[in-house]
């Protein structure tokens, strides 16, 4: 069953975030993941939720997503994102249907 990493990002240091973005595609792919959403226009439908930027990654399964996020290779890259802005992130199982 696929798993998805959903990240809401508010960038406060654009230069550092640009550097972060250079490193993520290769690391995501290394763990079997791919970008489904990487920024782009949003439209609020309910609840007043207006995220500044959304990213959605798809992984083959929850274990692959967790290996990516917890990997030593991603640790310094994640640190860049955390220093470059505010974010909230979740992992969620997909549906095999």
CATH number of domain containing 9: 3.30.70.100
State how far the Cα of 14 lies from the Cα of 75, in Å rounded to an integer. Answer: 19
Please report whether residue 20 resides in a domain: yes
Structure confidence at residue 40 (pLDDT): 87
Structural domain of 32: 3-42+54-93
Q: Which of 1, 8, 12, 5 is nearest to 66 (CA)?
A: 5
Please report whether residue 48 resides in a domain: no
Please report whether residue 49 resides in a domain: no
* Total domains in the fold of the chain: 1
Please report whether residue 31 resides in a domain: yes
Q: In which region does residue 32 sit, left (phi positive, over 0), alpha (psi from -120 to 50) or beta (all else)?
A: left
**Averages of pLDDT over each 10 residues, the chain, 97 residues:** 96 96 96 95 91 96 98 97 96 89
pTM, entire model: 0.91
Please report whether residue 32 resides in a domain: yes
Please report whether residue 47 resides in a domain: no
Please report whether residue 76 resides in a domain: yes
State pLDDT tens for residues 9-22: 999 999 999 999 99
**Distance set, CA 77 to CA 22, 29, 64, 67, 81 (Å):** 10, 14, 17, 14, 7
Phi, psi (rounded to 5 degrees) for 27: -70, -40
């Amino acid at each position: 069953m696929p798993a998805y990493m959903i990240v809401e990002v508010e960038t406060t240091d654009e230069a550092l975030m640009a550097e972060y973005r250079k490193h993520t595609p290769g690391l995501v792919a290394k763990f079997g993941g791919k970008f489904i959403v990487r920024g782009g226009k949003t439209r609020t439908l309910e609840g007043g939720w207006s995220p500044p930027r959304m990213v959605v990654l798809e992984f083959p399964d929850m274990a692959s997503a967790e290996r990516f996020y917890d990997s030593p290779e991603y640790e310094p890259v994640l640190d860049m994102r955390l220093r470059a802005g505010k974010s909230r992130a979740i992992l969620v199982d997909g549906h095999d249907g």
